[in-house]
Amino acid sequence: MIASVSLVIGIPFAAALVMTLIPSYRLSAFGNVLAMGATFAAGLSLLGVTQEAGTYFIIDDVNILFVILNTLVGFTTSVFSASYIGHEIETGRLTPLFVRFYHAMFLAMMGAMNLALTANNIGLLWVGLELATLITVVMVGIYRTPAAIEAAWKYFILGSVGISLAFFGTILIYLAGQAALGEGMPAMTWSLLQANAAKLDASLLNLAFIFLLIGYGTKVGLAPLHAWLPDAHAEGPTPISAVLSGLLLNVALYALLRFKMIVAAHPAAIDPGPVMIVMGLISLIFAAFMLYQRRDIKRLFAYSSIEHMGLIVFAFGMGGMLANFAGLLHMAIHSLTKSAIFFTVGHVAQAKETQRIADIRGLSVSHPALAIGLAAGVFAISGLPPFGAFMSEFLIVTTTFARSPWLALFPVFGLLIAFGAMLLRLQDMLFGEPVGPSHRVKASSLPLVLHLGLVLIAGLYLPPHLAGWLERASELLK
């Protein structure tokens, strides 16, 4: 187990060091793809290892799913980065020095996320997540425009508040563990804490969970702690937007789920479910309404991420086998779809030299391929059949309906509102008379096709092997 885990974490970090030495941006882009490909392979190798919990690392069905998703999207994003960043250098928005820095940071961030995902130590989990957040802060500010610096600053302020509150929650969990498991490492080891959850002090766990929910919830982008998210998505380079929406939010969610598992295992502690249901629904409905007022294409999809994270948190809040299954599935599909959308959006923004929705008109005339990609992405994320999101959203709504029919109205309401907004904006962009500049872009279609293809397959046919795996993971999350 250790060998695979150390590869998953080690390859990106080692490659990051190498990247700082490579001056040529073509070579470093290629190296980035190579390193991420190797990491993806290492991630897949986790499927074959025995699942166990060590002192520092843990491998179980839940985090294998997260790691593989993480490395897959990381790999495709690195492919997308190669063409995207090449264009940015040609237009002079980025200098080669910053690109060198960019690739190194990208790899380090992937390594940090993998560290957080495989950690069995709640301190290590925190360190990995925070390292990843910090690196994205720097990447968001990389264009150095006033807007980018503002976005990075806001992200820093809110992110560090999240960092701190989550750390305080971690200390409280340790204190609860210390009384039951003794001083030192055992009281910070997640698997031991979870196994002995019933022995922990309930009131300490409650307080800790509140801090962890606010702290990590800030990173998940739950309303009302979401203020950093649209800015960070809009002002940073598009590959980073893709990684933020597709991966970092998931990693934060993963952390939240791990702690939820501890708290839920204690009979006398608060039930985390209702709290998560409420926060999820607020985010979902709030973001759905906010979609209507967006004028910036990346902000539009950033709010859509808040909406979907809200839905996923809602699903996990409902809990139980089926809801967890739907939540995991939706999370994976959202990651794939949203990063695919950002790939397209990146190319669109480069082709039209703008992110303003009003200036991106007539895409179906000027750039038919991009228009089809964008339309497919928006249909997929809105949960239209035959894409996978339809299935996962359907599952979430039906399980909710089976258990408490009234509650099911809220997510349905939110999803419909969001669907309307999405169609409206899509129509603005695809049709009409093209205006403004219109460049040809060398788009790499591989990541887009791969992601949307996977999402499509998931919508049509879920292989029994995959379904069984998801079932085992949902069983663990219960």
Partner 1 sequence: MNYAYNVSHLLAGLMLVASFALLYQDRIFAVLNTFAAQAMLLAMSVGWEGWSQGRPNLYITAAIALILKGIVIPVALHRMIVRLGIHRDVEQVLNVGKTLLIGLALTALSLLLVLKVTAAAQNFTREGLALALAIILLGLLMMITRRNAVTQIVGFMSLENGLILAATGARGMPLVVEVSVAFSVLIALFVFAVFVFRIRERFDSVDIDALEQVRGDRK
Binding stretches for partner 1 (CB under 8 A): 121, 123-124, 126-127, 130-131, 134, 138, 141, 144, 146-147, 149-150, 153, 156-157, 160-161, 163-165, 167-168, 171, 174-175, 178-179, 183-185, 187-188, 201, 203-204, 206-207, 293-296, 299, 355-356
Residue 304 CB, nearest distance to partner 1 (Å)? Answer: 15
Closest CA to 62 of 469, 466, 335: 469
Nearer to partner 1, 162 or 310 (CB): 162
Asked, as a colleague might, if the bond just before 386 is cis with ω within 30 of 0, I would say yes
78 within 8 A of 30, measured Cβ to Cβ: no
449 within 8 A of 374, measured Cβ to Cβ: no
Read off the tokens for 371. Answer: 């228009």
CA dist., res. 212 & res. 259, Å (int): 8
82 within 8 A of 35, measured Cβ to Cβ: no
Residue 131 CB, nearest distance to partner 1 (Å)? Answer: 7
Residue 300 CB, nearest distance to partner 1 (Å)? Answer: 10
Residue 159 CB, nearest distance to partner 1 (Å)? Answer: 10
Residue 295 CB, nearest distance to partner 1 (Å)? Answer: 4
306 within 8 A of 228, measured Cβ to Cβ: no
CA dist., res. 51 & res. 48, Å (int): 9
How far from chain centre, in Å, is Cα 25?
27
Nearer to partner 1, 180 or 372 (CB): 180
CA dist., res. 104 & res. 164, Å (int): 26
Residue 337 CB, nearest distance to partner 1 (Å)? Answer: 23
Residue 350 CB, nearest distance to partner 1 (Å)? Answer: 17
Nearer to partner 1, 38 or 131 (CB): 131
Residue 8 CB, nearest distance to partner 1 (Å)? Answer: 20
Residue 423: burial class (beta carbons within 10 Å; 0-12, 13-18, 19+): middle
CA dist., res. 340 & res. 444, Å (int): 11
Go through 79-91 and write b for each residue having 16 or more CB atoms within 10 A of its CB, e for each that does not. bbbbbbbebbbee
CA dist., res. 145 & res. 316, Å (int): 38
Read off the tokens for 453. Answer: 């293809």
Residue 323 CB, nearest distance to partner 1 (Å)? Answer: 30
Nearer to partner 1, 181 or 244 (CB): 181
Task: Name the β-bridge partners of 57.
Answer: 119
| DSSP helix/strand/coil, 362 | coil
Nearer to partner 1, 11 or 188 (CB): 188
CA dist., res. 130 & res. 108, Å (int): 12
Nearer to partner 1, 130 or 393 (CB): 130
Nearer to partner 1, 125 or 458 (CB): 125
287 within 8 A of 417, measured Cβ to Cβ: no
Nearer to partner 1, 164 or 404 (CB): 164
Nearer to partner 1, 44 or 270 (CB): 270
Eight-state DSSP code of residue 236 = S
Residue 88 CB, nearest distance to partner 1 (Å)? Answer: 19
Read off the tokens for 300. Answer: 């539009």
Nearer to partner 1, 45 or 354 (CB): 354
Residue 317 CB, nearest distance to partner 1 (Å)? Answer: 23
Nearer to partner 1, 354 or 398 (CB): 354
CA–CA distances in Å: residue 338 to residues 78, 135, 203, 223, 344: 15, 21, 39, 19, 10
